[in-house]
Every structure is written in C-alpha cells, then in structure tokens.
C-alpha cells in the first residue's frame, strides 16, 4: 500500500506551514500581550505571531477572506466583538473549558467571542470637592446638584454608547433619554478627549466628577505628568438604581472564520481563560480577570469592591443603534449645560 504512505508524507510536509503556530490580529499593543504569548509557547510548543491592527480589523479580515493568515482576534469593547460576529468574520467555539472559565454575561451565547478581562465604567471624583458616598448611582449624574461639575468624553464614543445602552436596558428608552439630557445639563464643558482628559480637567479645577474606565487609573499612574491628575481623584463605583450593579465592558477573543488550524486556535483561547494567563493579562492592562478563578492585581483590587452587572453584554449591545440616535437627538456633544 504505497498510496497511503504518500498521502501521509504529503500531509506531514504541509503541516509546518499551519501546524505549529497561531497568528493573532490584535487591537492591543503587542508588548502588552507578549508575556502571555511566551507562556503559551512554553506550555504548548505552538509559536505565535502578532499583527497589531489598530483600525479596520473587521474590514481587513473581510478583504482577506478565506486566505487570511489570522486564527485569532484580540480586541476591546463589546461593540467591536459584536461587529466582528455580525460581519461574519468569526466562528463559534464550543469548549467546556472556556464556558466554565468565563461567566455567561461576558461571552457570546453562541460562542463567537469570549471576554478575557473586564473593565468597569466608573466615576472619577475629586478628592477635594466630592465627599465619599456623595454619588452612588449612574442616575445621580442627572441630579441638578452636579450642574456645571461633570466632564466626560464624547457621547458617540463606544464607551459612552455602551454605558447608555446599559441604561436603556435597565431603565427603558424614555428614562434613559431623560437621564442623558440631565447629564448634558450638568456638563461643565463640551465632551472632549479620551477618558484621561476629563481627569486632567478635575485636577485643573474645571469640574468635579468624570466618567471613565477603571484601567485609566493604572495607566495614568504610570506616567509622571498624568500621575498628578490620577492622584487628584478617587474611584467611585456607581450602580444602576434598579439592581445595584456597575456597568462593565470587556476585552475579548474570537476565532476567525478562516482560522487555518482550529485546534491551535482553541488551545490558545483555552489557555487565555486559565487562571494563570488571566491573572497575567489582567494585571498588565489594569483590568479585572473575566474568570472568577483568577485574582485582580493588588493595585486594581485597591480601587474597591463592586458588583458587576450580570446582564449579558449581547443584550446591552443590542441597544447600540438606539443609543447613538439618542446621543444625536439630545445633541450630547454640543452646548454643554443646556440640557439638550
Ligand atoms: Fe480605553
């Protein structure tokens, strides 16, 4: 039987091209994930290659189609994960290990993506001008007592749309719109910049509270100039009034629809959900491990305890179009303090 031998040999020859690697398209800086990749290779012998893809990750995968070398995408924010799924560039992964490690709220019900770390969208409050416990809910942000005291980034940014989508999920469309108008009426200045700019504004005395993601506290502390801004504020975890939870979003992983070797991709995804990998990853990005089996770093834990919203992120993401229309209707980014 010569033929089967030949077939085997041909298969063996073909393997090195796809056999021992995992190619990753990452929205995250490669240096942030390198320690993880090294640990994965040490454990499995599978090598990794990372292409940093800042914008247009979905478009790139679509253009490459079935010829794409990518096995895995690593990205941040529920909107980018759901966009990838909707664009058809991901595939389902059915893994007991992943399902067991990642809470249901932080993964796609069909297995198209899995959250790896979570970040809460919280309030940065001036240590000097805001008392502890003075603001406890997201709904409070619309209270006239904060008139002229709030700074935030653009209403059309995915982080703001995520929070507003969560407000719609919790309180309904009408209440969410009233709330958004109330927050706008309280703005000290038109929304601008990223999540750090409003903290700088608090430091400069232009406002007293801002909305931001938790990890920016860690990121600002790393920078000599920004550390001053960070040290002028305290993190307060607001909750939704109806159930006392805080809004969280995720960074996550998905397998591409065209992954050349499914087994390697699954191995990599399962590795990322392991307690050790979770702890390493969450610590370098100042986020919370998605897996309850892993602990947040000391710095991140020092910001305080909170109850993350357990509403599935897919349900929250389903309100994104409504949220964007609402931001535009209210003209959230223009005429600060006017109430829309
Ligand atoms: Fe960010």
Q: What is the whole-number distance in angstroms between the Cα of residue 82 and the centre of ligand 1? A: 17
Q: Is the model's pTM score more than 0.85?
A: yes
Q: Is the pLDDT of residue 14 over 90?
A: no
Q: What is the whole-number distance in angstroms between the Cα of residue 10 and the centre of ligand 1? A: 47
26 and 81 fall within a common domain: yes
Distance CA 135, CA 5 (A): 72
Average pLDDT over residues 252-275: 96
Q: Is residue 143 part of a domain?
A: yes
Q: Is residue 307 part of a domain?
A: no
167 and 286 fall within a common domain: no
Distance CA 258, CA 215 (A): 32
Q: What is the whole-number distance in angstroms between the Cα of residue 251 and the centre of ligand 1? A: 10
Q: Considering its fold, how many domains does the chain have in total?
A: 2
110 and 201 fall within a common domain: no
Q: What is the whole-number distance in angstroms between the Cα of residue 67 and the centre of ligand 1? A: 31
Q: What CATH number has the domain bearing residue 25?
A: 3.40.190.10
64 and 186 fall within a common domain: no
Q: What is the whole-number distance in angstroms between the Cα of residue 280 and the centre of ligand 1? A: 19
101 and 88 fall within a common domain: yes
Q: Is residue 1 part of a domain?
A: no
Q: Is residue 321 part of a domain?
A: yes
Residue 159 domain boundaries: 119-246+315-329
109 and 134 fall within a common domain: no
Q: What is the whole-number distance in angstroms between the Cα of residue 86 and the centre of ligand 1? A: 22
88 and 64 fall within a common domain: yes
Q: Is residue 306 part of a domain?
A: no
Give the pLDDT confidence of 50-73 residue by residue, as tens digits.
999 988 999 999 999 999 999 999
94 and 195 fall within a common domain: no
Give the pLDDT confidence of 319-329 residue by residue, as tens digits.
999 999 999 99
Q: What is the whole-number distance in angstroms between the Cα of residue 212 and the centre of ligand 1? A: 9
Q: What is the whole-number distance in angstroms between the Cα of residue 118 and the centre of ligand 1? A: 12
Q: What is the whole-number distance in angstroms between the Cα of residue 90 and the centre of ligand 1? A: 23
Give the pLDDT confidence of 158-214 residue by residue, as tens digits.
999 999 999 999 999 999 999 999 999 999 999 999 999 999 999 999 999 999 999
Q: What is the whole-number distance in angstroms between the Cα of residue 12 and the centre of ligand 1? A: 44
Q: Is residue 308 part of a domain?
A: no
Q: What is the whole-number distance in angstroms between the Cα of residue 152 and the centre of ligand 1? A: 13
274 and 164 fall within a common domain: no
Q: What is the whole-number distance in angstroms between the Cα of residue 58 and the centre of ligand 1? A: 19
175 and 237 fall within a common domain: yes
pLDDT at position 338 is 84
Q: What is the whole-number distance in angstroms between the Cα of residue 220 and the centre of ligand 1? A: 12
Q: What is the whole-number distance in angstroms between the Cα of residue 230 and the centre of ligand 1? A: 15
Average pLDDT over residues 123-138: 97
Q: What is the whole-number distance in angstroms between the Cα of residue 288 and the centre of ligand 1? A: 14
Give the pLDDT confidence of 286-327 residue by residue, as tens digits.
999 999 999 999 999 999 999 999 999 999 999 999 999 999
Q: What is the whole-number distance in angstroms between the Cα of residue 213 and the centre of ligand 1? A: 7
Over the chain, what is the mean pLDDT? 93
Q: Is residue 153 part of a domain?
A: yes
Q: What is the whole-number distance in angstroms between the Cα of residue 217 and the centre of ligand 1? A: 11
Q: What is the whole-number distance in angstroms between the Cα of residue 26 and the centre of ligand 1? A: 14
80 and 129 fall within a common domain: no
Q: What is the whole-number distance in angstroms between the Cα of residue 194 and the centre of ligand 1? A: 8
Q: Is residue 335 part of a domain?
A: no
The pLDDT confidence band at residue 7, using thresholds 50, 70 and 90, is very low
pLDDT at position 183 is 98
Q: What is the whole-number distance in angstroms between the Cα of residue 11 and the centre of ligand 1? A: 44
pLDDT at position 54 is 85
Q: Is the pLDDT of residue 13 over 70?
A: no
Q: Is the pLDDT of residue 4 over 80?
A: no
Q: What is the whole-number distance in angstroms between the Cα of residue 14 and the centre of ligand 1? A: 41
Q: What is the whole-number distance in angstroms between the Cα of residue 216 and the centre of ligand 1? A: 7
152 and 235 fall within a common domain: yes
């Amino acid at each position: 039987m010569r033929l089967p031998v030949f077939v085997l040999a041909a298969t063996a020859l073909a393997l090195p091209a796809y056999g021992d690697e995992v190619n990753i398209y990452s929205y995250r800086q490669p240096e942030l994930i390198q320690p993880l990749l090294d640990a994965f290779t040490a454990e499995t012998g599978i090598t990794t290659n990372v292409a940093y893809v800042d914008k247009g990750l979905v478009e790139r995968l679509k253009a490459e189609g079935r010829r794409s070398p990518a096995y895995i995408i690593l990205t941040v924010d529920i909107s980018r994960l759901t966009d990838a799924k909707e664009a058809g560039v991901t595939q389902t992964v059915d893994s007991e290990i992943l399902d067991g490690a990642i809470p249901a709220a932080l993964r796609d019900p069909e297995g198209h993506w899995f959250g790896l770390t979570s970040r809460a969208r919280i309030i940065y409050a001036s240590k000097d001008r805001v008392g502890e416990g003075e603001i406890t809910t997201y709904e409070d942000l619309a209270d006239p007592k904060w008139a002229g005291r709030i700074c935030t980034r653009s209403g059309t940014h995915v982080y703001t749309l995520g929070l507003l989508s969560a407000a719609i999920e919790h309180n309904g469309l009408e209440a969410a719109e009233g709330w958004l108008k109330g927050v706008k009426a309280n703005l000290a200045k038109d929304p601008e910049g990223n999540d750090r700019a409003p903290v700088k504004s608090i430091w400069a005395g232009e406002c007293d509270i801002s909305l931001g993601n938790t990890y920016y506290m860690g990121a600002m502390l790393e920078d000599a100039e920004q550390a001053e801004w960070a040290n002028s504020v305290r993190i307060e975890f607001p909750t939704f009034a109806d159930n006392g939870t805080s809004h969280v979003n995720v960074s996550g992983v998905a397998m591409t629809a065209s992954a050349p070797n499914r087994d390697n991709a699954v191995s990599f995804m399962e590795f990322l959900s392991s307690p050790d990998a979770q702890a390493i990853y969450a610590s370098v990005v100042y986020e919370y491990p998605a897996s309850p089996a892993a602990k947040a770093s000391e710095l991140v834990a020092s910001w305080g305890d909170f109850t993350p919203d357990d509403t599935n992120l897919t349900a929250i993401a389903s309100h994104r179009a409504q949220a964007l229309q609402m931001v535009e209707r209210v003209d959230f980014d223009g005429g600060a303090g006017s109430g829309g």
